[in-house]
Amino acid sequence: MNRKTLAAVFALVLALGIAAVSQTPSGPKHHVVFQLNEAKGDAWDSLTPHVNNTREALAKDGGSQVEVVFFGPGVEMLKKDNKDYEERLRKLSESGVILSACQNAMKARKVKSEDLFPFAGQVDSGIAQITRRQESGWAYVH
């Protein structure tokens, strides 16, 4: 191959690579972090509809990634013995919502990892996680 042919092949490969990268979706447009730090009550009952309504509305505008951070009394919602909310939380998790339990709250409330639903994750600090998300541009919902 001569230099001109080699340069043309290189340019073509480069152009195709750039085109492929530009067509690769970069993920959801919107990022939302909810907090749940209340004891059982209205906040627990309204969590699922609020998350679902938010995701449905944002789906029309580039999609969303949602995380719910549970701390304080809210961490109790993620316990396996919480049968009233298990199915709703499982569906959220299966649809891509991140459910994060605060390890500080777990320690204070004597909740062990094995006490949580298997689809629940953990973060070192609920408030620190919300702070990290906000600093990364996520919208914050209390």
- The answer on pLDDT for 132 being more than 90 is yes
pLDDT of residue 23: 44
Residue 46 has pLDDT above 50, yes or no: yes
pLDDT at 44: 96
Query: For residues 78 and 3, which has the higher predicted lDDT (pLDDT)?
Result: 78
CATH of 27-141, one of 2.30.38.10, 3.20.20.60, 3.40.1260.10, 3.30.413.10: 3.40.1260.10
Q: What is the mean pLDDT of residues 109-137?
A: 98
**Per residue in 69-105, pLDDT tens?**
999 999 999 999 999 999 999 999 999 999 999 999 9
Is residue 47 scored above 50 in pLDDT? yes
Output the pLDDT for position 13: 45
Cβ-contact 140, 133 below 8 angstroms: yes
Return the pLDDT at 27. Answer: 87
**Alpha-carbon distances, residue 121 vs 26, 100, 115, 142 (angstroms):** 24, 5, 12, 19
